[in-house]
A and B are shown apart, each in its own frame.
Chain A
Amino acid sequence: MGSGDGALNTPRWLRGIWVIPLAFLLVFLALPLVVLIIRTWSGDGWRILANASTWQITALATVQAVLSTVLSLAVGLPIAAVVSRYSFRGRALAQALVTVPFVMPTVVVALAFRSLLGSALPQGFLIVVLAHAYVNLAVVVRIVGSQWSQHDDRYARVAQTLGATPLTVFRTVTLPYLRSSIISSSVVVFIFSFTSLGIIVLLGDSSTRTLESQILRRTSVLLDFPAAAALAVLQLIVICIVIALGAVASRKRGQQKPVRNALLSMPTNRASRTAIHLIAVCSCAIVLLPVFALLIASVRSNSGLTTQWWTSINAIDSGTTRIGSPVASLAQSLQFALITGIVASLVGGCAALAVLAHRWGRFIALFAIIPLGISAATLGLGMLLAFGRPPVDLRASGLLIPLAHSLVAVPLVVAVIAPALRGIDPRAREVAATLGARPTRAFFTAYGPTLRTVMLAAGGLACAVSLGEFGAASFLARTGAPTVPIQIVRLLSRPGEQSYGVAAVMSLILIALTLVLVLVVDRLGRRNGALRPAH
């Protein structure tokens, strides 16, 4: 039953811990997906695949996602080249700032872009692509930058001495080295853009419909569940194809040996130094401009500056049963976030622990990462079909949204906890055992301190995910108890500057809450050394 190393020392409860994540994933991931597929199969949902508009939407969403990916790479690669390679004052700040868009809820990003560019750019294709590139900047910078930061610069120097110009060096030496990380980040950005919902709802028009937005429309407007399920399955197939293509394209070939701490000192010539500083400053400006636009929107009315939107967040819509006040939705979101934090850190933590204790643990951890590749709408719709109505109606219990959020957060929790646990020397447990500690005591002596820290950090990350999640919640939210992102979308669907101003205020509150959580995660991570949130 053991992993092979010190199985006799493994506490009995730990050997069986894999049951918890497996049961959770079977019930809340596999079952909804099976229900979704059965619903598609048994209904006449497939007829929507014969509809030309379905394929037109798929093609348009593909073009949109490809362009969003190309733009993310075009902006992200120079930033990664600077913030992850050169040592300069303010580098850590620039690196942290670039992560901000990724942790911002997508509806908040959409509103920020509308505040920044709304008067210059109409809703539609271009602003959607720009917003997607903004959100996914961190994906490119983090994934490519982490590989670039370990690039042995001497390969490039050798190529230079062999007569290669800087451009040829990049093409023949640097690019092949970065190939796998560029492909990985491209796959992630493509999937995020292809399955985008919040940004599409707030910034899109008929040219930017995604399968995700069509699933929502079929479910909540047309009440055509079989067709929605068929679209969800189609989307799942496209995602699987993209992931498979990515895996084939990034197959390991010969790789330059990476080096640790390969930060380069600043070049001595002034032009290069200026270019590096300029890119760093521009990256900060790109990240902060939409947030500033949001800040201005929260204090501006037609008659000038005002604090009215800030003071009216408890008054607007209070007493109406249909929507509820913004403050009530904030309380609702915080409650969901707390439940998500607890459930996701427990389930993800157990999945990560299963890797240590059971030979099948790795498969459980792999299973727990699957929700990352499934769109929020697919998860939401599956859960709605499986648990959203009699005989099993969890919607009334208020648990369905935090459970869906937990599914979305579990992969990140596993990605945070598993490497931290792997970094612990297993011999510490054996030493404790030889000193007379019983298996459970020996386990907690070795793993307890790190486990406590990473569980807290992962819980915080799960809370942040829940606070900003829009896709699944939009399927599962009940009318009177929306989450903050849903409340923001509802406010924006109404005319009037008050709705807009209050939506901006709520967006800023959401950004502040998310940032606090991410900073706490980062602080805990630094304390633990091995821990880094997986963005």
Chain B
Amino acid sequence: MPYALRTDHLVVGYDGWVSTPITLEVEPGTITAILGPSGCGKSTLLSTIAGIREAISGHVIVGDVDVTHIPAHERSVGLVFQEPLLFPNYDVARNVGYGLERQGVSRSAARARALELLEWVGLVGYGDRSVDELSGGQAQRVALVRALAPNPAILLLDEPFSALDVDLRQHLAREVAELLRGRGVAAVHVTHDPAEAEAIADHVVRFADICE
């Protein structure tokens, strides 16, 4: 059975900095946490896997497809950042249905599906609200279901809880882990917090260990 995600001697870089080749393997339905200090290149790795940055060399393989040269919008890789980055020009449900609309789903069908997903994360009745009305934790939940709505092959979480306060961070980390396992979604979660990594992940690897 192929890995959900595999990087094969992937070299990433940003503004003159270049990593050593990175090899990472994520099994289907599992959550892998990558632990490393701020600025070590974790986010650059995720951006490259998502197709936002070009790989300098090596390969990104999602399922059994080499997506190294496929643009981000065709990769089926979801990404959640530290901040929710919800589109303020759309209401909550339209944000969640955004990816479905890009797949050709009609706006009304995308909205209906978005409302189901919102219910799933405990945000019943929030569909028509402006994103400005959400608390930090609610906004991050919306960002999560927005990324999950188009059924990505793998979900990348770039320190999505670090902007939240400690109690909420731990609570939400556990909740997200349950949600992902419940749906069988493979995910890569990068963090600099060992406790958070342990709380959410099936496997924890240090960034330095996956670099050759």
Q: Select which of B83, B102, B146 is within 8 A of A164 by beta carbon.
A: B102
Q: Tell whether B199 is near chain A: CB-to-CB under 8 Å.
A: no
Q: Which residues of B contact A168 (CB under 8 A)?
A: 73, 102
Chain B positions 33-67 with a Cβ under 8 Å from a chain A Cβ: 47, 50-54
Tell me how far the C-beta of A174 lies from the nearest C-beta in chain B, rounded to whole angstroms: 11
- Looking at the complex, which one of A160, A164, A165, A257 makes contact with B51 (CB distance below 8 Å)? A160
In the bound complex, CA of A269 to CA of B51 (Å): 13
Interface residues in A167-185 by Cβ distance below 8 A to B read 168, 172-173, 176-177
Which of A155, A164, A173, A177 is close to B73, meaning CB atoms less than 8 Å apart? A164
Q: B62-84 vs A: 1/0 string, CB under 8 Å? A: 00000000011111011101010
**Smallest CB–CB gap between A88 and chain B, Å?**
13
> Is A161 among interface residues, defined by CB-CB distance under 8 A?
yes
Q: Say yes or no: B47 contacts A157, CB within 8 Å.
A: yes
Among candidates A161, A255, A257, residue contacting B147 with C-beta atoms closer than 8 Å: A161
**Given A154-B81, A254-B130, A265-B15; A160-B72 close (CB under 8 Å):** yes
Contacts known (A154-B81, A160-B72, A161-B78); A256 close to B87, Cβ less than 8 A: yes
Known: A157-B47, A157-B52, A254-B132. A163 touches B85 (CB 8 A): no
A269 touches B79 (CB 8 A): no
Whether B52 lies near A160 (C-beta < 8 A) is yes
Choose one: A152, A154, A162, A176; the contact of B102 (CB below 8 Å).
A162
Contact of A157 with B50 at beta-carbon distance under 8 Å, contacts A255-B88, A256-B87 already known: yes
Residue of B at shortest CB range from A176?
B89
A88 to B98, CA, bound (A): 33
Contacts between chains A and B (CB distance < 8 A), count: 81
CB atoms of A158 and B131 under 8 A apart: no
Say yes or no: B88 contacts A162, CB within 8 Å: no
- A:233-290 near B, CB below 8 Å: 253-257, 265, 268-269
For the complex formed, measure the closest distance between the CB of A168 and the CB atoms of chain B, giving whole angstroms: 7
With A254-B132, A265-B15 in contact, do A161 and B88 touch (Cβ < 8 Å)?
A: no
Of residues 78 to 116 in B, which have CB atoms within 8 Å of A's CB atoms? 78-79, 81, 83, 85, 87-89, 98-99, 102-103
Decide: A162 and B99 in contact? CB cutoff 8 A. yes
Per the bound structure, the CA–CA distance linking A254 and B87 in Å amounts to 8
User: Does B127 reach chain A (CB closer than 8 Å)?
Assistant: no
A159 contacts B by Cβ under 8 Å: yes
- Which residues of A sit under 8 angstroms from B99, Cβ to Cβ? 162-163
What are the residues of chain B within 8 A of A255 when measuring CB–CB? 88
Q: Does B85 contact A160, Cβ atoms closer than 8 Å?
A: no
The range of chain A's interface size is 20 to 34
Chain B residues near A160 (CB-CB < 8 A): 50-52, 71-73
Separation in Å of the A231 CB from the closest CB of chain B?
40
Q: Chain B: which residue is nearest A254 at the CB level?
A: B88
CB-CB < 8 A to B71: which residues of A?
160
Instruction: Report the bound CA distance from A165 to B102 in whole Å.
Output: 9
Docked CA distance A163–B72 (Å): 7
Distance (Å) between the CB of A378 and the closest chain B CB?
Answer: 38
Known: A157-B47, A161-B52, A161-B78. A172 touches B87 (CB 8 A): yes
User: Which residues in A have their C-beta under 8 angstroms from that of B77?
Assistant: 161
Q: B72 to A161, Cβ gap below 8 A?
A: yes
Q: Type the 1/0 row for A496-534, where 1 means its CB is closer than 8 Å to any CB of B.
A: 000000000000000000000000000000000000000
**Which chain A positions have C-beta within 8 A of B72?**
157, 160-161
Cβ of B6 to closest chain A Cβ, rounded Å: 19
- Which of the residues A162, A165, A166, A257 comes within 8 Å of B98, measured between beta carbons? A162
Q: How far is the CA of A155 from the CA of B75 in the complex (A)?
A: 17
Give complex CA distance A219, B53 in Å.
63
Task: Report how far A331 CA is from B150 CA in the complex, Å.
Answer: 70
Task: Specify the chain A residue showing the minimal Cβ separation from B130.
Answer: A254
Q: How far is the CB of B192 from chain A (nearest CB, A)?
A: 19
The residue that B54 contacts in the complex, of A155, A166, A254, A268, with Cβ under 8 A, is: A268
Please, how many angstroms separate the alpha-carbon atoms of A257 and B82 in the complex? 14
Residues of A within 8 A of B14 (CB): 265
- Which B residues touch A177, using CB under 8 A? 89
Contact A163 B89 (CB under 8 A): no
From B78, B87, B146, B152, A173 is in contact (CB under 8 Å) with B87
Complex partner residue of B89 from A164, A253, A269, CB under 8 angstroms: A253
The answer on a CB contact under 8 Å between B73 and A254 is no
Q: Which residues of B contact A176 (CB under 8 A)?
A: 87-89
Q: Contacts of A155 on B, CB cut-off 8 Å?
A: 85, 87
Q: Which residue of A lies closest to B74 (CB)?
A: A163
Known: A157-B72, A254-B89. A162 touches B147 (CB 8 A): yes
CA distance A268 to B51 in the complex (A): 12
B-chain residues with CB within 8 Å of residue A166 when the two chains form the complex: 73
Q: How distant is the Cα of A498 from the Cα of B20 in the complex, in angstroms? A: 70
Output the nearest chain B residue to A173 by Cβ-Cβ distance: B87
Q: CB-CB contacts of A133-168 with B at 8 A, as 1s and 0s?
A: 000000000000000000010110111111111101
A163 and B132 form a contact (CB under 8 A): no
Give A140 to B81 CA distance when docked, in angstroms. Answer: 32
Contact among B51, B89, B130, B150 for A162, CB-based, below 8 A: B150
Q: How far is the CA of A159 from the CA of B146 in the complex (A)?
A: 10
Given contacts A154-B85, A155-B87, contact A161 B132 (CB under 8 A): no
29 A-B pairs within 8 Å (CB atoms) are namely: A154-B83, A154-B85, A157-B50, A157-B79, A158-B79, A158-B85, A158-B143, A159-B87, A159-B98, A160-B50, A160-B51, A160-B73, A161-B73, A161-B79, A162-B73, A162-B102, A162-B146, A162-B147, A163-B99, A163-B150, A253-B88, A254-B88, A254-B130, A254-B132, A256-B87, A256-B88, A265-B15, A268-B53, A268-B54
**Residues of B that sit less than 8 Å from A by CB:** 14-15, 47, 50-54, 71-75, 77-79, 81, 83, 85, 87-89, 98-99, 102-103, 130-132, 143, 146-147, 150, 152
Q: With A254-B130, A254-B131 given, can you name 7 additional A-B contacts, CB distance below 8 Å?
A: A158-B85, A159-B98, A161-B78, A172-B87, A254-B88, A256-B88, A265-B15
